[in-house]
Chains A and B, each alone.
Chain A
Amino acid sequence: MTKAIEQASNATGKDPRPIKLACRNVWKLFGTNAANFIRERDGKASAADIAGAGLVGAVRAVDLEIRQGEIFIIMGLSGSGKSTLVRCMSRLVEPTHGKVEFEGKDLLEISDAALIELRRHRMGMVFQNFALLPHLNVLDNIAFPLSIQGQDRSTREARAREVIELVGLRGREHFYPRELSGGQQQRVGIARSLATKPEIWFLDEPFSALDPLIRREMQDELMRLQTMLHKTIVFITHDFDEAIRLADRIAIMKDGEVIQIGTPEQLVVNPATDYVAEFTRDVDRAKVISARSLMRPCDGAEHGGTVAPEAKIASFSASIVAAGKPFAVVNGTGKPIGEVTPQAVIDLLAGIERAGA
């Protein structure tokens, strides 16, 4: 199944960005003799095999590649293994089998000292329950990762003040975590993980502990930061709406396996399994599906306007219905590659599936 997924994602177009982090057949099994079990089977085992051996498969045969600068979301319900997977990527949890490659180098092979160096300078992580140190104030919390690297007080505090400014916490430098609201605490968590200027940024359900309104605000904040910083982001969530809002690509996990990887649009248009389809059913399709997915070959009719292939339906649905004429889908050079009819848009909005649409 994993082969099929890779082919599908490769077929959607070549991404020119280099691979930052990759999982190659990563397994995490709990139980006695788990390592021998999976090595003897050469990195292959079915769910029945694992259960038969009395083991628990938290992460099973995960293959994925995360490209530089993309927001890669791992999405799954609780117990699906997503938290364990992200901890395998940073080696907080030692995988039982497989390879985790950071810029092509196997993380599982490097020494402890090298791992500490890597975490100090190139990785950052934000936690669901913030994990702020209760005995330090905001400034010291944010400067903490710099202080353990041995930076002197003035240097690290200057950098801490920069990121405090970035996340909009100025004036709260001397507050203690307890004195802040949940949203503010997570801003501290974000600022702290950014203080070391990491290249890859792990966010483990960062907004799940927050109220829905604050969650929305923090999502916008994250997008704002990303447009400035261009980090490689691995983001864990159980909230599909959140995933669609933020993701470049989404990996959906179930029972420790990745069942599909794709852009939000691919998941909505071509769900690999019923499970994925179930997730995508209530999604506002017009906001996810782009003109390219809805277009058909031009049949010579008069066009009421033009849209880019990447434009989401929601962005032009009102005007196409008002115009009552098909819109031409034009690529970068202005050449029409197809058209979208008002009827197709209306069907989509009304939730009607039509063969060949």
Chain B
Amino acid sequence: MTVTASSSQARPPIQRWLVIWVLALAAVLVVFLLQDVVPWAVDYPASAVVPVADWVSALMGWIKSNLSWLTRSVTAMLGVPLDFALNLLAKNFKIGHGADAFVLPRLSWVGVCATAFIAGYAAGGRKLGMLVGGCFLYIALFGQWTSAMLTLALISIAVPFCILTGLFAGIWAWRKPWAERLIVSPALDLMQTIPTFAYLIPMLLLFGNSPVSAMIATAIFATPPMVRATMLGLTRVPLEIGEFSDMAGCTARQKLWRVLLPSARPTLMVGVNQVIMLALNMVIIASMIGAGGLGYDVLLALRALKVGEAMEAGLAIVALAIALDRLSQAIAHKQATGNVHRSSASPRFWRRYPNLTLAIAILAVTTLLGLFVPAFAAVPKAITFTTAPLWKAAVNWVTINFFDIIEAFRVALILNVLNPVRAFCEGFPWLGAVFLLGLAGYQLSGLRLAALVAALTAFCAITGLWEKTMATVYLCGISAFIACLIGIPIGLAAARSDRFEKIVTPVIDTLQVLPSFCFIIPVVMLFRVGDVTAMIATIAFAVVPAIRYTNHGIRQVPPALIEAAKVSGCTPRQTFFRVQLPLALPEIMLGVNQTILMALAMIIICAMVGTRDLGQEVFIALSKADSGRGIVAGLAIAFIGIVADRLFNAWTAKARARLG
């Protein structure tokens, strides 16, 4: 009570804000109408562009020429385990040179499939075993084995690296609040909002076009969730457990490693799952700088417009993603609830770890057999089959029979929706945007947020990227808006019907694990390249959080409140609109926030299908290895994300505070 009273005294009440907003909008409109008089306020003058891109290029050039000893040694050092994993899973070991080289075979595909089955069986029973083993078998039978193993090898080296780095960074941030506030949190925010493409450019420049640079980019991209999980896990350990360790006389190190971290293990495992999935996503994208593997196959096929091949490789990525996700989730779940007593620990290794022993034995036997029986070494051509012609035929059939409908839809969308919005966005005065966003920041949180938001928005203009920024905002905004229009009603329906939720949950779970690349393929088959394709792929990718958070938000309304509403005589409709929806609103807004951020990430990747925004800028910079241009465009994208995120968060925090 006292808080609301004092805050309403300190800031103008709602009505006054209404007046302020009307005046502000009118002012921007005036600037827009007077653009002949004050053109510099609408289009940022080219003469005043700050050449940040050149500065960054110069800096990167300096680093490249002066620190090459460092980058080379890093490449060499990381190359050793990476080559080992690549050879082990995909490429065979070659000892010696030339014709008399002795070849030690890679792990047999039969053995790897069996191991996948055993791992699934050990973590989640027969059903999971079948699923994981089946995914690997699918990859083998569809002729994607070598590519998939290249991808897997990269992940298997990058993930432990991410986990260790994330763990130590998380511990550091947890120990030192100043480090968390000043270094770790801002760095994480930036790392997660900078588009994936933008990572590739400096890596390409420093480490060349090689699996190592792909791995480093992957490691940087995939580490943040581990840092967050570590911080969260350590904070969530019950206070009493920490006190117990003090009373037992633990030293600081014993307390951390033997009490706190093991107690936080369930949360840490959730982080590991996320690291794996992000690493997969990034390894696919990093195929552009030499990661190879499945992503490269998709990329080649897309460039040649071989839709069938792209679809096949894409489906193999899906299979790999599902296998890795379900497996790591099952392991995480087992860590959280699994420990079940055994009557006596038997001392022998094979007794204690029967599954592990079996897997090693099968791998060894099948790989040795591969020396003599070629069918074990490589997937025999005779049993693989390809669906590429089938996909191509299907697409042809659709284009022949439905061309008019699809084309009419596409053109109508472009003419009636996309183009007007685009024109509006691109003509929006930059000064007006800076002013309005700053005002929103001030209303929602105060002067600091206002300054941050205005500064980040101004950065996009003064680096000469205003038009491209607004092109991004327009496509991202429309996609996120439609994703919310679709997602929130589905989430509401799922919250009101358990049966519907049971149908929706596996679908959105699957959508969420798919690497962003995969969304483009089917859409591009039907709509070819252009903004419509980008928009539809983005909607499909970004709809998940809108559904998930809405459902969760409605369901987490305390049952006692709903009972209270019923007892006071609310009809179900009233209960829903007057109690559940207002209480769930902050959570739903969080979902909208996530949807916007995901849409932004996806829009950038859609540069591959010919958009004309910041993503394209990064994409071009990547192909020209122009680091300054790419990094500045990447930062501009990140700043759009940060502005949206901060404003939404401030708004949600305010709504939460009001609900108490």
Chain A residues at the B interface, C-beta cutoff of 8 Å: 87, 90, 92, 116-121, 123-125, 127-131, 133-137, 144-145, 148-149, 174-176, 178-179, 193, 196, 202
Contacts and interface: CB of A to CB of B under 8 A. Distances in A.
Interface in B260-291: 262-263, 265
Contacts of B241: 131, 133
10 contacts: A120-B249, A123-B247, A131-B244, A133-B263, A135-B263, A144-B258, A145-B249, A176-B339, A178-B337, A196-B248
Interface string B246-259: 11111100100011
B344 A148 contact: no
- Give the contact-size bracket for chain B: 20 to 34
B240 A127 contact: yes
B262 A135 contact: yes
A144 to B, nearest CB: 7
A149 B247 contact: no
A120 B248 contact: yes
B249 A116 contact: yes
B249 A148 contact: yes
Contact of B247 (A119, A133, A135, A136): A119
B54 interface: no
Given A135-B263, A148-B254, A127 B244 contact: yes
Contacts of A196: 248
B341 A179 contact: yes
A133 B341 contact: no
- Of A124, A174, A196, most buried by chain B (CB within 10 Å of CB) is A174
Contact of B262 (A129, A133, A175): A133
B499 interface: no
B176 interface: no
Given A148-B250, A174-B342, 9 more contacts: A90-B247, A92-B243, A119-B246, A120-B248, A121-B249, A134-B339, A144-B248, A176-B340, A179-B341
Interface of B: 238, 240-241, 243-244, 246-251, 254, 258-259, 262-263, 265, 337, 339-345
Contacts of B244: 125, 127, 131
A148 B252 CA distance: 11
B149 to A, nearest CB: 34
Contacts of B258: 144, 148
B240 A128 contact: yes
A120 B160 CA distance: 35
A174 B344 contact: yes
A137 B249 contact: no
Contacts, number: 75
- Of B238, B247, B249, B250, most buried by chain A (CB within 10 Å of CB) is B247
Contacts of A131: 238, 240-241, 243-244
Contact of B248 (A119, A136, A202): A119
Contacts of B259: 133
- Of B238, B249, B262, B265, most buried by chain A (CB within 10 Å of CB) is B249
- Of A134, A145, A149, A175, most buried by chain B (CB within 10 Å of CB) is A134
A155 B344 CA distance: 18
A164 to B, nearest CB: 14
- Of B243, B254, B337, most buried by chain A (CB within 10 Å of CB) is B243
A27 B250 CA distance: 26
A124 B248 CA distance: 7
Contacts of A123: 247
Contacts of A133: 241, 259, 262-263
A130 B244 CA distance: 9
Contacts of A130: 240
Nearest to A125: B247
Contact of B341 (A116, A134, A175): A175
B238 A179 contact: no
Contact of B238 (A90, A129, A136): A129
Contacts of A145: 248-249
B337 to A, nearest CB: 7
A118 B340 CA distance: 35
A101 B243 CA distance: 20
Q: Which 5 A-B pairs have the closest CB atoms?
A: A120-B249, A131-B240, A174-B341, A145-B248, A119-B249
Contact of B265 (A92, A116, A135): A135
A236 B337 CA distance: 32
A135 B339 contact: yes
Nearest to B336: A134
Nearest to B250: A148
Given A131-B243, A134-B263, A174-B344, A149 B339 contact: no
Contacts of A120: 248-249
Contacts of B262: 133-136
